[in-house]
Amino acid sequence: QVQLVQSGAEVKKPGASVKVSCKASGYTFTSYYMHWVRQAPGQGLEWMGIINPSGGSTSYAQKFQGRVTMTRDTSTSTVYMELSSLRSEDTAVYYCARDLVPAAKGQDYWGQGTLVTVSS
């Protein structure tokens, strides 16, 4: 069965970086794009970017350009999202979600979420 398993909760200080992982199983890793979406406490969903695990190409939301980097490791079927220069407003649950983009099927499987807390 399809599973997206994310790394555990993180506590970071302002100015630091965080790297969240998302390990995929149960499907062909390189056949599905991966989105990263975050949700601040009590707020809505916010799209951060997308990576194509096949070639590694990425597209980031303008808001995060220069601060976010998405990478993948095809040998372990894992994608990573690194966010730098953290500030308190980055405190949120971060989700990965797969998407068969060319077929426009939407994000049909989501990770369990990773809480990142930024606090001095």
Dihedral in degrees, nearest 10, Cα atoms 88, 89, 91, 93: -170
- Name 117's Cβ contacts closer than 8 Å, sequence gap at least 6: 9, 10, 11, 12, 91
CB of 96 to another protein, least distance (A): 10
CB of 3 to another protein, least distance (A): 12
CB of 97 to another protein, least distance (A): 8
Would you count residue 2 as binding another protein (CB under 8 A)? no
Q: What are the two backbone dihedrals, phi and then psi, of residue 105, each rounded to the nearest 5 degrees?
A: -90, -10
Compute the 3-state secondary structure of the chain and give helix, strand, coil in percent, each to the nearest 5: 10, 50, 40
Give whichever of 49 and 118 is closer to another protein, judged by the CB atom.
49
Which residue among 14, 87, 88, 105 contacts another protein (CB under 8 A)?
105
* Per rule CB under 8 A, count of chain residues that contact another protein: 22
CB of 21 to another protein, least distance (A): 16
- Closest by CA position to 94, among listed 72, 117, 120, 65: 117
Name the site residues for another protein (rule: CB under 8 A).
35, 37, 44-47, 50, 59, 61-63, 95, 97, 104-108, 110-113
